[in-house]
Amino acid sequence: MSVAEIGHRVIERCGRLRETAKLKSIANKPWDGTFTDYPKLPWRERVPSELRKQLALDAEKLMRGEWELFGWKDVEVGAPPCWHRDATLGVVIDPDIPSRKLDHRHLEHDADARAIWEINRWSEMTRMAMHSALNGDVHAIRVSQLWLEDWCDRNTPRHGINWTSPLEAGLRLMNFCWFDALVRGCNDPELARRQDELTARIVPVHAFWIWQRKSFGSSANNHLIGELSALVMAITRWPALAEMITSAQRVWKLLEREILQQFAPDGGNKEQALHYHLFAWEMCWHAGMAVDGLKGAVLDRLTKAAQFFVDVTEAPESWDFGDSDDAQVLPLALKRSNAAAEFRGWLLGKPEGAILRFWLGESPKGVRSAMRSKWQVHADSGHTIWRDARWTVRADATPLGLGSMAAHGHLDALHVSLWFEQHALVIDPGTGGYYSNPALRKRLAAWEAHNGPVPVLGRQTPERVGAFLWMKHHAVPELKVHEDICVMSFDCEGHRAQRAVHATQHYVEVCDEVGTETSHAVTWQLAPGWRISQERKNGFVCMHEESVAVHGTLNGDDIEGWEIVEREASPHFRELVSSQAVKITFKGSLTTIWRKAG
């Protein structure tokens, strides 16, 4: 943290002394709730029948208090929800504790703040409002209003876990923009009257607090993008906010700068976390639509970012690199569990993106399907991808992450992920969780959890010194592509490792060079659903549960041994499963060849 940033934080802390009085003043001041037609919602046009059905099913469960967290975990949250409870553990955090006295990184009984925040982003209320608007069920939208009124009663500003993060407040405000538009679209006078009261309680306080607490310095990653995006959307929806904060256009200018700083010239997100790439991109796109700002350099960068996402994401079995907490911005996908594939389909103009096209209109122009049988190189970001009808290869030659914190990066340099016939084969093991299990978080982000060659005695750098803080970053790997071979290399702690990947329609060959002085290990971790059997001394067979088989062959100067081991994998946030891996110990060189068995 720089001296300037430390000074800024001291000034900000001093400013908080007057915050309580200001928030009370805002809450008591008459509110001009005049609103515009942003966002423009399409529910009076033809609605896809599958969307109507899915929304009805979702709303029925939500109103019973049965929610699906992170797109996979079924929990009972209550009706209305218990807003301060980690529903995955049953731990409740006292809502009356002043927020400044709460350390959301270390909550009682290993509760995870992210699990509590999940139900406080109001996506489920937006989803219920979508159902009301498209299926004519006014009851669902009234229930949503009652729940939001309950939220206001139980979440006094500057108290409790839900007033510790301006990004979380921003996500609430983004959803409330859409919620408000959906309510007004029902043309029900009583709903509108109650909505006027609810808007006055929620919007001014949230907008002011986000503006005062917006992230800066080393913390200005996707959080700042989310906070600024929320303000752009809210000020556009309720113009009176400009008198309290500033104009939507001025906030958009700040956001434009962040877009150009946080997305690399080739479109990759500098946080080096694929899920956060889409998360940040979606927020930027909503804000740009709000102020007609999608033009010029920003539109070009966001279009390249959309192309990057299409290039590096494999559907339907998409395993992310870097951190992922399965966050969503707005509940626009038909099914949250399939959101990445739906966004990819929307960006490519394919039928899989039909529901997103209904809500968002046309996708950015110029996004194309990935090239076949040729390496696609994103040199600024350090990613290369190769695809054909059978294989997908994603190779990582990336820096650790964004800025001095590299908050969401993993130790995955030289890692290779493989898909065979659209089945994830060799994976990045995922994230696990953030705060509730720091040991697991450390293990899944470690060098040993990825398949680049690692000294048997391990590496001491980079060093994780907090849930979102890395020190002593590793050097940026070198990346070269010549015809059909991708070569990645880097030096770390006096050892140089090089990995060459040769991809063809018949096989994928990975050659590792580490020198002859130090024993290294390569661990090929397979996706759940695959089982490994040893075929002979230098080979193994991977059999998928759907009767797909892949053969692996090992060759090298000095292979000291190899074994089949069980490893941890996290397909979704807070989900942990086991999968098998092949761990090879060697010196000099190791070549692993993957091909279809038989």
Residue-wise pLDDT tens digits, 432-455 = 999 989 999 999 999 999 999 999
6 pLDDT more than 60: no
Convert the pLDDT of each residue in 278-313 to its tens digit. Answer: 999 999 999 999 999 999 999 999 999 999 999 999
Q: How confident is the model at residue 551 (pLDDT cuts 50, 70, 90)?
A: very high
Mean pLDDT of 139-158: 97
Mean pLDDT of 502-524: 97
Q: What is the pLDDT of residue 17?
A: 62
Closest CA to 467 of 445, 447, 450: 445
175 pLDDT more than 60: yes
What angle, rounded to 10 degrees, do the helices at 248-262 and 222-237 form? Answer: 160
Q: Are 290 and 315 in contact (CB under 8 A)?
A: no
- Taking the C-alpha atoms of residue 409 and residue 273, their distance in angstroms, rounded to an integer, is 6
Q: What is the pLDDT of residue 10?
A: 47
Q: Are 74 and 66 in contact (CB under 8 A)?
A: yes
The distance from CA 487 to its chain's CA centroid, rounded to whole angstroms, is: 28
Q: How confident is the model at residue 315 (pLDDT cuts 50, 70, 90)?
A: confident
- Token pair of 489 as six digits: 């290399």
CB atoms within 10 A of CB 149: 16
536 pLDDT more than 70: yes
Q: What is the pLDDT of residue 13?
A: 56
Which is more confident, 18 or 488?
A: 488
- Token pair of 227 as six digits: 């906070």
Please name each of the domains of the chain with its CATH number. 47-213 (no CATH), 214-370 (no CATH), 376-596 (2.70.98.70)
560 pLDDT more than 60: yes
HSE-up (13 A, CA, CB side) for residue 37:
3
